[in-house]
Amino acid sequence: MPLPTIEWIGDAGGHARIIEQTLLPRELKYLDLATIEEVWDAIKRLAIRGAPAIGVAAAFGIVLGLKTSRAADASRFDADVLRAADYLASSRPTAVNLFWALERMKRRAAAVRELPLSQAREALLDEARTILAEDRRICRALGEVGAPLVPEGGSVLTHCNAGGLATADYGTALAVLFRARELGRNFRVFVDETRPLLQGARLTAWELLQAGIPATLICDSAAGMVMRDRGVRAVFVGADRIACNGDTANKIGTYSVSVLAKAHGIPFYVVAPASTFDLSLADGSSIPIEERDPSEVTAGFGARTAPEGIDVFNPAFDVTPRAHIAAIVTEKGLIERPDAARIASVLGK
């Protein structure tokens, strides 16, 4: 059982607890979040990250946002919920699970708006805990669906971190690898370091070592050579948002990995829960791409590596076109050669 990335401590007057991911792998530390502002800050600065985990954090954030509410009637309660949701939505723009969880919490709030405030907050905490429990079940289902895709005796490559640290349990892309390992499959994982914040080096490498899965860390720029020369037979990545046609946003560099995989004839798999699909978007061109602080590139982790005054373009995500994706692994089944019709068929929408 992986360490809990996020959990709730106590009753509706309690707080959220997360693993402080910016300190890994040097230090494993838990951070208590007792206010909505602390949740917003944790999401913004990547103390908690990964689309499913962000969704759970946002749900808990709504509960914390109502901690100081003095709403005396339903309309005031509605206003407090909306204010909290809008504030949390401003933390990061790309991961659709954030907005999915906030919409779900708003629907639950609308159903309990006539209850006394204390009971309404309890109901919202129950909903947030349900979102967390559902994510745990989904992680296991993703592993079951995707494990047969892991090649026996071969190597796979992954980019960024899509393990337990990105979710409430086993992860998405790494859930596939964890389950394959549990089933006795032998394989090696090449781990892209994932510039500029090194989620692969700091987080994925750490998780795979904890699980006893053979892993080799590589520079992002070595991926092409490794695909050609080191027997890579599949690529597994997570996703932060998937458009109606299958175009997929994930951590910056994923698109480049997909191009390399296509050039080498290697199947490229995206692993994500149904909540990551944004069926309101026809294709990936409409997915909002977050741009982050230039200092992450010029002075990452406090060490300056670029001259003062240089212009910087620092997108956090890029979009992989569906034509590069062999299949999308979801808890509802495998979507091979994804397009709008196949996605709708598997998701049941």
pLDDT tens-digit readout, 280-316: 999 999 999 999 999 999 999 999 999 999 999 999 9
Ramachandran area for residue 17 (φ above 0: left; ψ -120 to 50: alpha; else beta): beta
Among residues 118, 102, 113, the alpha carbon closest in space to that of 76 is found at 113
Structural element, H or E, at residue 143 = helix 117-146
Contact 135, 167 (CB under 8 A): yes
Among residues 270, 250, 235, 237, the alpha carbon closest in space to that of 343 is found at 270
Averaged pLDDT for residues 214-233: 98
- Which CATH code fits 143-347? 3.40.50.10470
Averaged pLDDT for residues 4-23: 96
Domain 6-140 fold:
Four Helix Bundle (Hemerythrin (Met), subunit A) (1.20.120)
Question: Would you state the pLDDT for residue 71?
Answer: 87
pLDDT tens digits for 318-327? Answer: 999 999 999 9
Question: Is the entire prediction scored with pTM above 0.85?
Answer: yes
Q: What gap in Å lies between CA 114 and CA 247, rounded to an integer? A: 41
Amino acid in position 285: S
| Residue spans in the chain of domains classed CATH 3.40.50.10470 | 143-347
- Classified as helix, coil or strand, 327 is strand
Which among 135, 192, 240, 247 is annotated as catalytic? 240
On average, the pLDDT of the chain sits at 96
pLDDT tens digits for 77-104? Answer: 999 999 999 999 999 999 899 999 999 9
- Split at pLDDT 50, 70, 90, the class of 3 is confident
pLDDT tens digits for 242-263? Answer: 999 999 999 999 999 999 999 9
Averaged pLDDT for residues 157-182: 96
Averaged pLDDT for residues 154-174: 96
Question: Would you state the pLDDT for residue 1?
Answer: 55
Residue 132 Cα distances to 59, 123, 145, angstroms: 9, 14, 20
Q: Quick one: what percent of the chain has pLDDT higher than 90?
A: 95
pLDDT higher than threshold 70 for residue 114: yes
pLDDT higher than threshold 80 for residue 70: yes
- Classified as helix, coil or strand, 165 is helix
| Residue spans in the chain of domains classed CATH 1.20.120.420 | 6-140
Q: What gap in Å lies between CA 138 and CA 348, rounded to an integer? A: 16
Question: Would you state the pLDDT for residue 349?
Answer: 65
Q: What gap in Å lies between CA 96 and CA 101, rounded to an integer? A: 9
Q: Who wins on pLDDT, 107 or 68?
A: 107
Q: Note if 240 is an active site residue.
A: yes
